[in-house]
Amino acid sequence: MSSSDSVSAAVSMRFDAAPGALSGTVEVPGDKSISHRALMLSALAVGRSRVEGLLEGEDVLATAAAMRAMGARIEREADGIWHIDGVGVGGLLQPQTALDMGNSGTSTRLLMGLLASHDLTATFVGDASLSKRPMGRVIDPLSQMGAEFTASPGGRLPLTMRGTVPAVPITYRLPVASAQVKSAILLAGLNTPGITRVIEPIPTRDHSERMLTGFGAHINISNNADDERVIEVEGEVELRSMNIKVPGDPSSAAFLLVAALIVPNSIITVRNVTMNPTRAGLVTLLENMGGKIIRKNPRFLGGESGEIVYDLQVMHSVLTAIEPDPAAVPSMVDEFPVAFVAAALAQGRSVFRGLHELRVKESDRITVMADGLRSIGARVEEIEDGLVIDGTGGEALEGGATIATHLDHRIAMSFAVAGLASRKGVTIDDMRPVATSFPGFVDLLRALGAGV
């Protein structure tokens, strides 16, 4: 999606408080982070992998296209099952054209890591939103491993990289908590002789470590004397194919959970959501705000190294203000926009700090959310690293505004949820970005009884 496309063919929608409450049982699409990694590691494995529940949003389809361009055979059956025939670690082929990442920062950063230890050259391009996002935090460690980069000003796309064989194993301490940087280094380490090591002072989502273990990589996880998490991967190991069932995405479920909490008399169940401890931050935050959320039917997908999954029952609740610990940011970094909406309807003053990362997402999510919330009647103060929000105490927001998405899917969905708890409704100027992560979002809201 280009910026010109979004102007000429934008699809606006209005979201209103419906006469009734939200009710029903639904499932959200597969987890985006896990879907990306399932495709990449299956493409590096020997043999055929089977993936069920893959998120078929635009971001993940960009990863699939890139892996096909480098030699993997990837097919989707009519029943929604995906089959991937891998090329083996080190077996990726030179892409013949630029790799178009669309809006997907995850695809870009993880693939840069994957290619850093292959003897090939690749050019990455993306849409207007992705082309504004800096890649320097990945370029730095991968350059230490021997990869070479020619990037646009500010370390941005379009970007051309040349991998190297053999790459140099490194020990890298993350200066900023980032699962994408950690994963990029570990993926580069797969085809690098020796031990590649990442030290993370603050734990981040661990899907890469879990999935690498499932594919047969030699992963060692420990804590050092400073109680920092140390992840080691042994290079030049053959990966085995596997069958994967992708659980529901908690970042997508977040919008439905908050909607049910703030729309009076609502009660819904969202099935099959991963509650991986490194991803459950929003649910914990909402529970601490007084949200009535019941975790039901726990089970593991993929054995003990896989993902723990729950069905989440949630009902309308009187929410109270919150001041989350900045250390919890990595466990809910993508869910803060909708958490701001919950805070805007809560009792008291919520203070969110430590959110510098939100300024370099698809948009500056701190400023965009502050401006949008003010336009629909919320009391919000923007600070350098977050927001201060004085909630309504459960009273509906005024609404009545049109929100600019800035090509950001989570901005669009957050204000759609806000519109359901407003007096005059909220119009989203362009709902098309939602397709990057949550195809079917509007249909699910309608199925639950939302006014759309």
Binding residue numbers: 32-33, 37, 105, 133, 178, 180, 334, 361, 365, 410
Residue partners of 356: CB distance under 8 A and separation at least 6: 385
Binding residues for 3-phosphoshikimate: 32-33, 37, 178, 180, 334, 361
Per-residue tokens: 355: 């959110």
27 in Cβ contact with 253 (< 8 Å): no
Binding residues for phosphoenolpyruvate: 32, 105, 133, 180, 365, 410
Q: Where are the beta strands (DSSP E) in 203-334?
A: 219-223, 229-234, 243-245, 267-274, 292-301, 307-315
Identify the H or E element spanning 351.
Answer: strand 349-352
Q: How far apart are CA 244 and CA 177, in angstroms?
A: 27
275-311: b (≥16 Cβ within 10 Å) or e = bbebbbbbbbbbeebebebeeeeeeebbeeebbbbbb
3-state secondary structure (DSSP) of residue 83: strand
Q: How far apart are CA 312 and CA 177, in angstroms?
A: 28
Q: What are phi and psi of 421, to 5 degrees?
A: -120, 40
Name the active-site residue from 311, 334, 408, 430. 334
Active site residue 430: no
Q: Residue holding tokens 């079917």?
A: 440
Residue 92, classified by CB atoms within 10 Å of its CB into exposed (0-12), middle (13-18) or buried (19+), is buried
Q: Residue holding tokens 């401006």?
A: 371
What are the residue numbers of the active site?
A: 334
